[in-house]
Amino acid sequence: MFEDSTQREASTNRVSRRGFLATATAAAVGLAGCLGSDGTESGPNDDGDSTDGGEPPTASTSQIEDPPDAVYLPSHRSPVTMLDPIQAGEYMLLPHHTLQHQFWLMRGNDDEPEQTDPRGRGLHFMFAVWDAETGKMLPVDIGLGMTIRREGQQIDRRQPWPMISQEMGFHFGDNIQFPESGGYDVEVDLNPIDTRKTGAFSDRFEEGATAEFRFEYDTDLVITAADEVEYLDEKRWGEPGALEPMGHGDGMGGMAPGVGLPAAESYPGTDLGVPRSGEADFVVRQLGSSRLADGDDYLFVSPRTPYNRVPLPDMSLSVEGDVEGSLTQTLDSELGHHYGLTADLAGGDTFDIVVETPPQVARHQGYETTFIDMPPVTVEVS
């Protein structure tokens, strides 16, 4: 197993309209960013002291005070630097990074996610993973591992967290410290997928693969660049809503598949509604004589975020009532990520979808108060 080297300290700073972000000499797209509380650098340096003009800021913390228990709009966007996509076996991997920032970890059924703050000099590194053959995203925790070396010496080894954000959707990420400017060799291990796979995916992703790339870290590129921040109208900070996905639907600026799932009406079968629980929309369909159930009825459930339809993986779901059983997380080559159950569904049947465990994914700002307390939703077969 990879050692978790992420710092876990909680703090709350009131957001201001000025801040700092990372810039680089590559293409950049927006990400909900991080601001200091008074327009100055708020990240610690390697000695644990606040930066004071001698070094460019590499970390800042921001948090809208008293965020709503809803998906909400952050204050602004910050740029993200895209590296080149890499093929590793059956996988495609897109590394990208931005300024270190806060995120929130889930711990089972805990009511309060654990806030993780940045520290030291570094960046927030992220990885999107998709199928090299079909181009479909693979939004499940595959235990992705990351090893960083400088001049042959290992400086970090960890498992980035599975995460969701409004603009990047599902990805793997973590705040990572770099001791000095220079070139770093990064090795990313992608493990076999043990989630149920169906359709053309049924016999795929059975072997792991490794992607390698070289990354140049330069503190001179991490500069104060407040003029490049795209601020929302201050009156909208904390309002229900979400920032648009990267590339306005062309995922990761056109370098990867879109971050959102298909709209509810795009799925086959009988529409059983789109109930909502804990801010998540549950697309529910009855697929009669389905290949997913060896010719029997199949109950298809696709939880996703509102607005951007980001998939919510690694949940435990069951159904109770006229239909009972556990829903199995599934990656299908045609229908994508969902939870399913072979079931004999008849008109008039009523059942509850019960969230035994909420999505076990870390959350970027705007999602940290949601998808936690998720009451059962009732579904009736028409």
Burial pattern 162-185, b for ≥16 Cβ within 10 A else e, equals bbbbbbbbbbbbbbbbbeeeeebe
Quick: pLDDT tens for 8-48: 333 323 232 222 222 232 333 444 433 333 332 233 333 33
* Cβ-proximal residues to 217 (8 Å cutoff; 6+ apart), any chain: 123, 178, 180, 181, 182, 183, 184
Residue % of the chain over a pLDDT of 70? 80
pLDDT at 51: 36
- In angstroms, rounded to a whole number, what is the distance separating the alpha carbons of residues 3 and 1? 6
Please state the domain extents for the chain.
28-254, 264-380
- In angstroms, rounded to a whole number, what is the distance separating the alpha carbons of residues 87 and 85? 7
370 conformational bin, left if phi > 0, alpha if psi -120 to 50, beta if neither: beta
Quick: pLDDT tens for 180-221: 889 999 999 999 999 999 999 999 999 999 999 999 988 766
Indicate the average pLDDT of the chain: 82
Quick: pLDDT tens for 214-240: 999 887 666 533 346 677 888 888 999
Q: Which residue has the higher pLDDT, 379 or 251?
A: 379
Q: Say whether pLDDT at 253 is over 90.
A: no
Q: For the residues 171-175, what does the mean pLDDT come to?
A: 96
* Superfamily designation of domain 28-254: Periplasmic metal-binding protein Tp34-type (2.60.40.2480)
Q: Which amino acid is at 44?
A: P
Q: Could you check whether 28-254 and 264-380 share the same CATH topology?
A: yes
- In angstroms, rounded to a whole number, what is the distance separating the alpha carbons of residues 161 and 302? 22
* Cβ-proximal residues to 149 (8 Å cutoff; 6+ apart), any chain: 155, 184, 185, 186, 187
Q: DSSP readout, 120-147?
A: SSEEEEEEEEEETTT--B--S----EEE
Structurally, at CATH architecture level, domain 264-380 sits in: Sandwich (2.60)
